[in-house]
Structure 1
Amino acid sequence: MKFVTFQNAQRKSRAGLLLDQGIVDLHLASEGALPTDMLSFIAGHDEFMPLLRDLNLTEATPTHALTDVQLLAPLPNPTSFRDYVAFEQHLINATKRAGHTLAEEWYQMPIFYFSNHEAIVGPDAEVIRPHNCLRLDYELELACILGKPARNVKAEDADDYIFGYAVLNDWSARDLQMAEMKVHLGPAKGKDFATSLGPCIVTKDEMAHYATNNHRFDLRMTATVNGQLLSDGNYQTVHYTFGEMLERASRDATLQPGAVLGSGTVGWGCLLELGPETHRWLEPGDVVELEITGIGKLKNTIV
């Protein structure tokens, strides 16, 4: 199944089920039995998913046409957001551009930083370039959304805790980021102005047929700027699995339903890696589209 959050004609935010023909408002179609928001649905999905099936909402007539609503981030209010650097090629490329070498510690554990879970934007949203930023970058990532509390989870058990997946754009103000990280902190202000998530959350069962035998997914990942294809990778090149990421994140810490884990950028999945010889930094007016097999396209415009 594919879930969205949308704004209806009354400008109210609602959780919805995305079908080929349109969107089913979960609360409306269930006569109030299902919640109005996606976070509540995810947190109670053990109860709500069987009810959704009993009501046969996957075969229901949509309550809204896609053209009549505005899609928001499918989960506008994650309970937390940890972003990893799980692709070796990305880190090799990025450290080389910065004049550094890849630390041996990266091979010992999946590394993450906390980003701003209160700055989530959705498909077709405008992204404001931060003040004093001249090196704005996109980052092409896959997001994993947890469906129940997780603490001290082993990698092999992680699938039991995952609700679904989405496309993620970890926007980066590279000039702000690099200045902070010179004092071994950050990326902080280089990241916290916006993160795009969407266009929907695809449940883990629908992603299963893309799974490889090494706990990864065979998913093409692409990025275009103003229609020009710049990044073209595959998720199966990731070094650390989401299971390994969750194992480290949940060690001696509790993650709540609605927590987001970002995979980090696929190799060659940002302008920093591609370099100015391929494309300039992002400017107001640029349209950035990220797409991942099985999930869809996440489009944003820089202003």
Structure 2
Amino acid sequence: MRWVTCEFEGEERVGLIVGDDVHLHDRGPSLLEVIDGGELAEVAARLRRSPSDVLPLESCHLVSPLPRPPSVRDTIGFLDHVRGCRRAYGRDPHLEEVWYQVPAFYFGNPSSVLGPYDEVPMAPGSRWFDFELEVGAVIGRTGRDLGLRAAQEAIVGYTLFCDWTARDLQRLDTAMGIGQGKGKDSGLTLGPWLVTAEEIADSVRDGALDLEIWASVNGQEIARGTLAGMDWTFAEIVSYVSRGTDLRPGDVIGSGTLPGGCLLEHLTGDPDTFDRWLRPGDVVSLGGDLLGRTEQRVVPGVPVHRLRSGF
């Protein structure tokens, strides 16, 4: 099943993709509420049989399938992404032992979620604006301290995930040593739809999700690869993040960036003179097997209110 949230007649409506159409639910529950109620199969059967409205998929105004997820965590499932970023900044790409012990993650901002075709404002004050090519796993049931099998079974589906990053602001964050801050706070894309886990069950090989994903900027492909190369599987990641805390339906957990799937990893020379950072007017697209395609235009950000330090 592929689920969407569509703006229709001034409201956000849940929809199920059937062929080239979207079968819309009547006014009422959000996709999050349908997931939380464990009603995906029941609602899908009803929408196939007697939808409230039917629209061509190509004409739907799709927003994020989960416009307001309860929480967002982004992990580093691909260690080659970290190595690539270190090389770009002229650092030793060798990773310390801790990187192999647990999957690193940080909390994203659920209030910054964008739809798959929304404009993306540059982060205020940033000149080194970047995207990151990822996939998000969506939790479908409450769970805590999950083993690997239970963790995999807790995933209801997957969606494309773009982690917009202000690399210059991120440098300030990391210099203080307390984790991600304003470098990761201004935008996060989910969509265009949620594809359910059973829909892509045939793509799971030895616990890894073997789906190809890609990214382009202004029509030029930047990266392409498969999630099968993740150093940490989604089951391992979900199991780890569930330690000592409840995961809830609708929580989103990012895969981490596909190696090469951001502009930073293609940096050469001085970041201040690097001419490939995103600028207003640039169009970024992500795509993936069964996951659909996003297309978003970068637009100017708002001016910053200067602090006493001048920044």
TM above 0.5 = yes
Give the counterpart of 2:199 among 197, 203, 206: 206
Relative distance call for 1:219 and 1:59 in structure 2 (3 A) is farther
Structure 2 residue identity aligned to 1:12:
E
Structure 2 CA distance for aligned equivalents of residues 163 and 279 of structure 1: 40
Q: How many residues align?
A: 293
Tell me which residue corresponds to 2:133: 140
1:65 offset after TM fit, Å? Answer: 2.2
- Unaligned segments of structure 2, at least 5 residues: 300-311
Confirm whether residue 227 of structure 1 aligns to residue 225 of structure 2.
no
Structure 2 CA distance for aligned equivalents of residues 72 and 199 of structure 1: 7
Structural mapping, 1:283-302, within 5 Å: 283-302=279-298
1:279 offset after TM fit, Å? Answer: 6.3
Is the 1:95–1:102 Cα contact (8 Å) retained in structure 2? Answer: no
Q: 1:164-186 CA distances to partner (integer Å, 9 max, x unpaired)?
A: 00000001000000111111023
Tell me which residue corresponds to 1:96: 87
Tell me which residue corresponds to 1:113: 106
Give the counterpart of 2:239 among 226, 241, 247: 247
Relative distance call for 1:126 and 1:215 in structure 2 (3 A) is same
Of residues 154-163 and 283-292 in structure 1, the stretch that sits farther from structure 2 once superposed is: 154-163
Relative distance call for 1:180 and 1:293 in structure 2 (3 A) is same
Structure 2 residue identity aligned to 1:273:
E
Relative distance call for 1:48 and 1:233 in structure 2 (3 A) is closer
Of residues 156-165 and 262-271 in structure 1, the stretch that sits farther from structure 2 once superposed is: 156-165
Structural mapping, 1:34-183, within 5 Å: 35-45=28-38, 47-53=39-45, 55=46, 57=48, 63-98=54-89, 99-100=91-92, 101-183=94-176
Structure 1 residue identity aligned to 2:243:
R
Tell me which residue corresponds to 1:32: none
Structure 1 CA distance for aligned equivalents of residues 20 and 276 of structure 2: 39
Relative distance call for 1:77 and 1:58 in structure 2 (3 A) is farther
Structure 2 residue identity aligned to 1:18:
I
Structure 1 CA distance for aligned equivalents of residues 87 and 284 of structure 2: 25
Is the 1:5–1:14 Cα contact (8 Å) retained in structure 2? Answer: yes
Confirm whether residue 7 of structure 1 aligns to residue 10 of structure 2.
no
1:156 offset after TM fit, Å? Answer: 2.2
Structure 2 CA distance for aligned equivalents of residues 58 and 49 of structure 1: 12
Of residues 101-110 and 138-147 in structure 1, the stretch that sits farther from structure 2 once superposed is: 101-110
Tell me which residue corresponds to 2:248: 256
1:255 offset after TM fit, Å? Answer: 1.2
Structure 2 residue identity aligned to 1:38:
L
Structure 1 CA distance for aligned equivalents of residues 63 and 149 of structure 2: 33
Relative distance call for 1:183 and 1:151 in structure 2 (3 A) is same
Relative distance call for 1:60 and 1:15 in structure 2 (3 A) is closer
CA-atom RMSD in angstroms: 1.9
1:294 offset after TM fit, Å? Answer: 1.4
Structure 1 CA distance for aligned equivalents of residues 126 and 145 of structure 2: 39
Give the counterpart of 2:262 among 257, 260, 270: 270
Structure 2 CA distance for aligned equivalents of residues 155 and 67 of structure 1: 38
* Helix, strand or coil at the partner of 1:4: strand
Tell me which residue corresponds to 1:31: none
Tell me which residue corresponds to 1:23: 22
Give the counterpart of 1:192 among 185, 188, 194: 185
Structure 1 CA distance for aligned equivalents of residues 22 and 225 of structure 2: 30
Q: Taking structure 1 as the reference length, what is the TM-score of the superposition?
A: 0.92
- Unaligned segments of structure 1, at least 5 residues: 29-34
Structure 2 CA distance for aligned equivalents of residues 279 and 230 of structure 1: 15
1:58 offset after TM fit, Å? Answer: 6.8
Structure 1 residue identity aligned to 2:20:
Q
